[in-house]
């Protein structure tokens, strides 16, 4: 009778796979290198994963769990204030290495990116609004903070795209402190409209 698998060892290998992916890249990563990083025999990895796409799927699930742990609730201070808060949370998440590397791989256009594009698209769809962003945008549109010509998908894509583009050229520590407000101004956000609505 086969012995049950160790959940502790499973977690150790997946964490090592995540670290290997982010330090070496998908192309250089191998099941053997994951075993070395985890400090286990290669057989322990090969019994859990058939190939690298299976490893990446496990890494994406692991990162998704970490994202959920980082998420917070909207403060409920008003539609504009909540929108700024949600965009700032996106900023914190994008400045986090794990959140940036996966989409970066998706836009590389390399053979390794094409090999796992379906997995990456699924992950980005599942997490594209970063938890807080979608309801904050919906509420802002409903209260006139954003014009009704702005859709949730368009606004979220513009916000995420702005951050990922900025990240390519400027280290997060040098981003302006009012960057969420600047991005929202490009979408035509009206904080004064929020003030009148909130007081009503």
In 3-state terms, what secondary structure has residue 41?
coil
Look up the pTM and report it: 0.62
Supply the range of the domain harboring residue 118.
72-199
Residue-by-residue pLDDT tens, the chain, 200 positions: 344 567 888 889 998 988 888 777 777 889 999 999 999 999 999 999 988 888 888 887 887 777 666 667 788 889 999 999 999 888 877 776 555 555 555 555 566 667 677 776 676 666 645 668 888 999 999 999 999 889 998 998 899 888 878 877 787 788 888 999 999 999 999 886 555 544 44
Q: What is the CATH number of the domain that holds 35?
A: 1.10.10.60
Are 50 and 90 found together in one domain?
A: no
Q: How many domains does the chain have?
A: 2
3-state helix, strand, coil in the chain (%, to 5): 70, 0, 30
Cα angle: 27, vertex 28, 31; to 5 degrees: 100
């Amino acid at each position: 009778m086969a012995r049950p698998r160790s959940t502790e060892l499973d977690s150790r290998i997946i964490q090592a796979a995540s670290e290997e992916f982010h330090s070496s890249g998908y192309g250089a990563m191998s099941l053997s290198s994951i075993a070395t990083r985890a400090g286990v025999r290669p057989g322990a990895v090969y019994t859990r994963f058939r190939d690298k796409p299976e490893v990446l799927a496990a890494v994406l699930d692991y990162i998704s769990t970490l994202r959920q742990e980082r998420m917070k609730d909207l403060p409920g201070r008003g539609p504009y204030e909540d929108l700024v808060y949600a965009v700032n949370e996106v900023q914190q998440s994008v400045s986090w290495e794990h959140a940036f590397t996966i989409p970066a791989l998706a836009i590389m256009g390399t053979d390794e990116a094409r090999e796992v594009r379906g997995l990456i698209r699924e992950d980005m769809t599942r997490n594209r609004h970063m938890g807080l962003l979608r309801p904050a945008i919906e509420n802002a549109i409903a209260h006139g903070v954003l014009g009704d010509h702005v859709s949730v998908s368009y606004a979220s894509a513009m916000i995420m795209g702005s951050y990922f583009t900025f990240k390519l050229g400027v280290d997060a520590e040098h981003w302006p402190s009012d960057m969420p407000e600047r991005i929202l101004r490009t979408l035509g956000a009206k904080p004064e409209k929020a003030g009148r609505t909130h007081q009503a």
